[in-house]
Amino acid sequence: MKRETLVFVGFAGLAGFAGTASANPCADIEDAAERLACYDREFAVEKNVDVPEPTAPRPADPVAPTEPMVTETVPVAPLPAAPQPAPAAPEPAAPSTDESFGRPSAAEAKSITSVVVEKQTDGRGVDYFRLENGQVWKENRDYRVSINEGQTVRIEKGPFNSYNLKSDTINKLVKVRRVN
């Protein structure tokens, strides 16, 4: 019985709030500036603060055209000449593109084509391919593709320093990395 009485009293209290949504005369004012001034007057009385009555709004002052701003150029002394670097030692000859393919370098070929000389599979099913140019490449994971010895493959540079192995016999992109 106490529970029903509390619920009823609670709903009755909420019903009293429903009628007070527009009890404040400031809430019915459409203009934002006037509504704000109304609220300022309402709550200033509670805080005992004097708020002046609103006056008619002033028309906006016309803005006078401004003259372009003139800036002065200040002469700046020239910078002293930079010291000349010492002559660099001659760089060693770069290896051929086949030897350096798959190794980090600035000037690298976009792709190589070679024949698989040897294929080995580790315990996890990942294949290692030795190419006729001496490079050894490893699959990044087990792709379950059939690339066999004697088959011609093409290894292309991919995005973010990745490499892709392709062959005419497979219709799949195999991600590889160079081992040696």
Mean of the per-residue pLDDT values of the chain = 76
pLDDT digits (tens, 9 = 90+) for 149-171: 999 999 999 988 889 999 888 88
- Phi/psi class of residue 61: alpha, beta or left (left: φ > 0; alpha: ψ in -120 to 50)? beta
Domain 106-178 CATH assignment equals 1.20.1640 = no
129 falls in which pLDDT band (50, 70, 90)? very high
Specify the pLDDT at position 173. 86
Within the chain, all domains assigned CATH 2.40.50 are found at 106-178
pLDDT at 54: 60
What pLDDT does 118 receive? 93
The secondary structure of the chain in percent helix, strand, coil, rounded to multiples of 5, reads: 25, 20, 55
Q: Residue 16 pLDDT > 90, yes or no? A: no
Q: What is the pLDDT of residues 49-100, one digit of tens each?
A: 565 666 666 666 566 666 666 667 777 777 777 677 666 666 655 555 666 6
Whole-Å CA distances, 102 to 53, 116, 163:
81, 16, 8
Q: What is the pLDDT of residue 156?
A: 92
Using DSSP bridges, classify how beta strands 136-139 and 127-131 pair: parallel, antiparallel or unpaired. Answer: antiparallel
pLDDT value, residue 92: 59
pTM of the complete model: 0.42
